[in-house]
Amino acid sequence: MLINLNIIDLAVVKALDLDLNTGMSVLTGETGAGKSILLTALGLALGDRADSGYVRPDSKRAEINLEFDLADAPHAQQWLQDHDLDDGGICLIRRVVNQDGRSKAYINNRPVTLQALQTLSGKLVEIHGQHAHLTLLDSDEQRRLLDEYAKNHGLLEQVNHCYRQWQQLNKELAALIKASSDQTEREALLRYQIEELQQLDLVNFDYQQLSDEHGKLANLGQILLTGQGLLDNLYENEQASVSKLLNHSIAELQQIARYAPELNEISQLLTEAQIQSEEAALALRRFLEAQDADPLRLELIEEQLATIHQLSRKHHISPDGLPAQLQQLEQQLDGLVHSSERIEQLTADTAKYFAEYQQLAAHLSVARHNGAAILQQHISAMIKELGMPQGEFLIAISALETETPKLNGKDNISFLISANPGLPPKPLAKVASGGELSRISLAIQVTTANDKTTPTMIFDEVDSGIGGGIAEIVGQKLRALSHNRQVLCVTHLPQVAAQAHSHLYVEKNHHTDITSSNVRLLTNPERVTEVARMLGGVNITANTLAHAEEMLAHAISEL
């Protein structure tokens, strides 16, 4: 159960540290006092999407901390152990929202993803919003409620797994069958494209080397002309070659080195330079002598490069990508050649999953009919208690008009209501008024909650549209739910508030520059005053206070 809620700088809440009790707790206060922000804080801490607008003005960040006692939450405790997040019998959840809207989540002081937080939260807290009766009109929500009550989760997962496998295989099979219709034409095209690429000898293909060789042969005349000029400058010009000039310089330097021995080092450097220049000249001569103009080789390379560029443009890839393109085309051809085998295998696998789906879906339908028979009896009984004495609640289950597998099985599920005797039941959206829909929604939530293992349940004004004696019954039903779990209820009804074990009051503080809200646990005398306020409006009279005391005393006497 939730034992502590701590909020820092969230919207109108500057700082709040609230301890929560077992049983049923109600949260009341004037309209606009800040009750909704507490539900917002809980939602954020449990994984709702964050927004920078939640951060209190002039604050850098908002922070919400929840502390849970896991004694009544074995599924949550097991999940924590499975994910190495267990920290004994207590679970701490922290959510931090920054000014830029980014947020971080922590479980037992270890950072986690939002998805992990949401998964754990579902095992700790269940929130029923004030607009739950509107979502009740959705057919998917009606199916979900029935499956949840009938404990069809495992069977439903098997059905959906089977459906997804069938869908994937059937999609691949359809694509292959479509492709096989023009397989001959496609196969011929692939063979032609492969033969085009194979003429390039792509096993030994090196586009860069071929391109370099072409550049050399195409510019061989310029290479020979420039090379011979350099050879003359280095060695073969008898009058002014580098070798002659260096030889002359060395001889003169050796003459004067007799008088200045330190010049011998310079003479040595020039001698080494002469040797290097002569070796360079010899290497250049050998290179030039080895060059042989080969017009046929140049023509062959130009033809190869033209073919390479043509094919690269045709396949919309770079020349270097042609070997990989050949491999891909060969794989496609191999796939076409063996597609008949794949079609045969896919046909068998698709039929297998189709048959398995039909069998599982049939079992799911039986489970739904069995669960619906019990659920509709309980809800019918409860709506009678909630002020619809002639009301009958029915769950209609019919088969979808298709043999094609569908997600969530092959049943069409519809919640029906007959508010008056003699009238045929009709869908909720066509019969129920706003008040009736609220009662039906509450009856479903209370009925389906009895078998749940979630230790904490939060009801946010689910009693809207209800009043009088019915409101007292609603309070009693919510109190009954709290016998084996923690129930927190936001309400405007004094009849509901009087049934609570603990009463929390939300009030605004206008004594600071920025308005803030606070929550405190009411004492017994304060509870009388608050219930009287909820009963009597602006002026609280002695009669109103007496009525409030009587309501609280009556609730306690029924314990």
Residue 363 pLDDT greater than 90, yes or no: yes
Q: Of the ranges 206-215, 279-288, 500-509, which one carries the lowest mean pLDDT score?
A: 206-215
Answer for the pair 501, 23: CB distance below 8 angstroms, yes or no: yes
In the predicted model, what is the mean pLDDT of residues 20-40? 84
Per-residue model confidence (pLDDT) at position 332? 79
Give strand pairing partners of 17.
Answer: 6
On whether the CB atoms of residues 103 and 97 are closer than 8 A, the answer is yes
Across 223-227, 362-366, 396-400, 444-448, least confident range = 444-448
What is the rounded CA–CA span in Å between residue 235 and residue 348?
84
Q: Which of 25-34, 134-143, 197-206, 391-400 has the lowest mean pLDDT?
A: 197-206
Indicate the pLDDT class of residue 114, thresholds 50, 70 and 90. very high
Average pLDDT over residues 460-467: 75
Question: To the nearest whole percent, how much of the chain has pLDDT over 90?
Answer: 33
Per-residue pLDDT band at 352 (split at 50, 70, 90): very high
Residue range 226-260, pLDDT digits in tens: 888 888 888 877 777 888 888 888 888 888 888 88
What is the average per-residue pLDDT within 424-447?
Answer: 77
Q: Which amino acid, one-letter code, is at 250?
A: I
Instruction: State whether residue 193 is helix, strand or coil.
Output: helix
Do 127 and 458 meet the contact criterion of CB atoms below 8 Å apart? yes
For every residue of 432-446, DSSP letters joined together read --HHHHHHHHHHHHH
Q: At what angle do helices 264-290 and 242-256 cross, to 10 degrees?
A: 170
Instruction: Label residue 143 by pLDDT band (50, 70, 90).
Output: very high
Q: What is the mean pLDDT of residues 528-550?
A: 87
* pLDDT score, position 205: 75
Which range has the worst mean pLDDT, 97-111, 175-189, 191-205, 396-410?
A: 175-189
Distance between CA 545 and CA 532 in Å, rounded?
Answer: 5
Instruction: Tell me the range of 26-40, 394-408, 514-528 where mean pLDDT is highest.
Output: 394-408
Q: Which pLDDT score is estimated for 181?
A: 65
In this prediction, residue 510 has a pLDDT band, given cuts at 50, 70 and 90, of: low
**Maximum average pLDDT range among 185-199, 204-218, 267-281, 435-449:** 267-281
> What is the separation, in whole angstroms, between the first and last Cα of the chain?
21
| Interatomic CA distance for residues 306 and 210, integer angstroms | 12
- The chain-wide mean pLDDT, for the chain, equals 86
From CA 47, how far away is CA 95, in angstroms rounded?
A: 8
Beta strands at 516-521 and 502-509: parallel, antiparallel or unpaired? antiparallel
Domain at 1-124+455-559: CATH code: 3.40.50.300
Which pLDDT score, from 0 to 100, does residue 511 have? 59
Helix then strand then coil, in percent of the chain rounded to 5, is: 60, 15, 25
* Model confidence band, residue 559 (pLDDT cutoffs 50, 70, 90): low
- Identify whether the C-beta of residue 457 lies closer than 8 Å to the C-beta of residue 126: yes
Please give the C-alpha separations between residue 454 and each of 103, 448, 461, in angstroms, as whole numbers: 26, 12, 20
Residue 420: predicted pLDDT? 77
DSSP state of 33: S
pLDDT in the model for residue 434:
65
- Least reliable range by pLDDT among 69-73, 211-215, 249-253, 345-349: 211-215
d(CA 110, CA 122): 19
Residue 65 pLDDT: 95
- pLDDT for the residue numbered 414: 93
Would you kindly state where each structural domain of the chain is located, as residue ranges? 1-124+455-559, 186-337
Q: What are the C-alpha distances in Å from 420 to residues 389, 431, 463?
A: 9, 10, 22
DSSP state, residue 182: T
Please state the rounded mean pLDDT for residues 6-33. Answer: 87
pLDDT for 525 beyond 80: yes
Averaged over 281-308, what is the pLDDT? 83
Residues composing the chain: 559
- Per the CB < 8 A criterion, the answer to whether 136 and 415 are in contact is yes
CA pair distance 472, 490, nearest whole angstrom: 15
Among candidate residues 78, 87, 80, 92, the one with its CA nearest the CA of residue 3: 92
Half-sphere exposure of 230 (CA within 13 A, CB side): 16
Res. 276: pLDDT tops 60: yes
pLDDT digits (tens, 9 = 90+) for 60-112: 999 999 999 999 899 899 999 999 999 888 999 999 999 888 999 999 999 99
